[in-house]
Amino acid sequence: MPKTRFKCHCAYDGTDFRGWQSQLCGNTIQDFIERRISEIFSEKIRIHGSGRTDAGVHAKAQVFHFDAEWAHSAENLQAALRSGLPAGIQIFKVSVADVGFHARYSAQGKRYAYNIFEGYAPPYKSRYFWSMQRRRLDIEKMNDAAEVLLGEHDFTAFSANRGHEEDNPVKTLRVLKISKKGREIRLLTEGSGYLYKMVRIITGAMVDVGLGKLSKSDIERILEGKKRTNAFQTAPACGLFLEKVFY
């Protein structure tokens, strides 16, 4: 029987995991999914994700693919996958993909959202929000400064160094918008791709703009400098969600 390529969508609460990518500790999203797939097929099968998410980061629609021999429907495979995973990981869609599909290399872009709470987030929300506590943000100034980052730029200044050569630092941001409803603030971004910790670093910069610590001209200067500085903080992982991968 020839192998079939399966495209899978999963969601997870990243709080208790060490991120997406497999590690020796075994406590990652990829590790748990691969163990479950290996149980189903009685062989070691590697999955390929659309990209990494760091420890503590969440996903509403991460995408991965794998190849395997399966004589039943994709729906039956989804049911088998869901039955043996931790409560914090859910497979909500499995479909047959073209043999040329690749979860990472076929992706055309991604959407991320970052949640901020103006004040102290209640316990049932605190693991999904960055609480501002006593600080207040100027949303209008944040959106004005965000316009600087729209379009195609070298985003080296808004990325973290992994200790080795990164991929192409030139990315295109199509959307970067901050909205507020009640005490909840949402930073939404869509782009062609993102560098390591890029969304969290941009969020940290926008928060400092909202607090009056940075100006729009500061963001322009930092972007043009193409060098990561300590001028602003990196937002914590807890508020970040991978919302969608575009194909």
Closest Cα partner for 52 from 91, 88, 11, 20?
20
Residue 196, marked binder: no
Query: Does 167 participate in catalysis according to the annotation?
Result: no
Q: Angle 11-86-162 (CA atoms, 0-180°, nearest 5)?
A: 60
CA distance 51 to 197: 12
Q: For Cα atoms 207, 208, 212, give the angle at the middle one, nearest 5 degrees.
A: 120
Q: How far apart are CA 50 and CA 104, in angstroms?
A: 4
Sign of CA dihedral 202, 206, 207, 211: positive
Distance of CA 111 to the CA centre of its chain: 8
Q: Are 239 and 203 in contact (CB under 8 A)?
A: yes
Between CA 140 and CA 53 the distance in angstroms is 29
**Torsional class of 38: left (φ above 0), alpha (ψ -120 to 50), beta (otherwise):** alpha
As a whole number of angstroms, the distance between CA 158 and CA 169 comes to 10
Which is catalytic among the residues 13, 54, 67, 138? 54
Q: Which residues are annotated as a binding site?
A: 112
Q: Which residues are annotated as a binding site for substrate?
A: 112
Q: Which residues are catalytic?
A: 54
